[in-house]
């Protein structure tokens, strides 16, 4: 995936970009009472042809039909920082996605794009839940899940399921730049809980999730 991204621009600030996962805020909207998820959020507008602009900070919204655990609530997360939001790496990722998803959906002139920085933490006797709502759709058109870092964890296996409930495949994102691309209208996706290999040390799974939804 790294080579594909470089075809769309620079990753010169990757060290700072990936390091920004160390500064995520606790997700306080977990209906299961979990304290294992940290995140930041941003929204962009992208036109066909790749012109992009960051929008004013706003809540993330999912209907209960897509997220029965945490949906139905306007969730205000801490914003992606200005430096990271305008930096080379994220801009390149968004341009690459706009090119790919634009080719897959050439009739779309304008996209609403949401960016989510996620850290899922595991601790002594506590598994981290990347998808606590279970296998799900996000209610968008296209999804990119990009691995940033795994540290001291086991599991975290992604499964893709079709509309009839058939498992199409399972795989584990293990290294930086490993990615999953999801046609959200056609399939559901979920990720198994992550567990600490050494419970005396920090354990976490860092991913970037980017969703594209036609306006």
Q: Is the pLDDT of residue 1 over 90?
A: yes
pLDDT tens for 81-90 read 999 999 999 9
Q: Within the chain, how many helices (H) and strands (E) appear?
A: 4, 12
- Of the pLDDT bands very low, low, confident and very high (cuts 50, 70, 90), residue 56 is very high
Phi, psi of 35, deg, nearest 5: -120, 30
Q: How far apart are CA 10 and CA 201, in angstroms?
A: 33
pLDDT tens for 57-97 read 999 999 999 999 999 999 999 999 999 999 999 999 999 99
Residues 6+ apart with CB under 8 A from 170: 157, 158, 159, 160
Question: Token pair of 189, please?
Answer: 């996706």
Average pLDDT score over residue span 103-114: 97
Q: How far apart are CA 162 and CA 195, in angstroms?
A: 27
Q: Are 142 and 180 in contact (CB under 8 A)?
A: no
pLDDT at residue 170 in the model = 97
pTM for the full predicted model: 0.96
pLDDT at residue 84 in the model = 98
pLDDT at residue 7 in the model = 95
Q: Are 50 and 95 in contact (CB under 8 A)?
A: yes
Share of residues in the chain with pLDDT > 90 (%): 97
pLDDT tens for 120-163 read 999 998 999 999 999 999 999 999 999 999 999 999 999 999 99
User: Pick from 36, 23, 181: which is nearest to 117 by CA?
Assistant: 23
Phi, psi of 207, deg, nearest 5: -140, 155
pLDDT at residue 156 in the model = 97
Q: Is the pLDDT of residue 49 over 90?
A: no
Q: How far apart are CA 124 and CA 52, in angstroms?
A: 42
Q: Are 153 and 84 in contact (CB under 8 A)?
A: no
Q: How far apart are CA 69 and CA 132, in angstroms?
A: 8
């Amino acid at each position: 995936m790294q080579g594909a991204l470089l075809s769309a621009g620079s990753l010169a600030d990757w060290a700072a970009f990936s390091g920004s996962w160390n500064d995520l805020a606790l997700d306080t909207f977990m209906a299961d009472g979990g304290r294992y998820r940290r995140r930041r959020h941003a929204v962009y507008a992208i036109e066909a042809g790749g012109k992009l602009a960051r929008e004013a900070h706003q809540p993330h919204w999912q209907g209960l039909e897509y997220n029965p655990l945490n949906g139905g609530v306007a969730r205000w997360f801490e914003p992606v920082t200005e430096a990271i939001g305008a930096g080379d790496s994220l801009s390149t990722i968004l341009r690459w996605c706009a090119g790919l998803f634009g080719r897959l959906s050439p009739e779309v002139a304008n996209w609403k794009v949401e960016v989510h920085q996620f850290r899922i933490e595991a601790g002594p006797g506590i598994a981290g839940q990347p998808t606590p709502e279970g296998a799900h759709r996000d209610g968008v058109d296209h999804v990119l899940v990009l691995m940033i870092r795994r540290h001291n964890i086991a599991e975290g296996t992604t499964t893709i399921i079709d509309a009839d409930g058939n498992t199409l495949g399972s795989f584990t994102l293990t290294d930086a730049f490993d990615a999953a691309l999801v046609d959200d209208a056609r399939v559901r996706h979920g990720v198994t809980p992550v567990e600490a290999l050494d419970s005396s040390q920090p354990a976490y799974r860092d991913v970037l999730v980017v969703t594209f939804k036609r306006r």
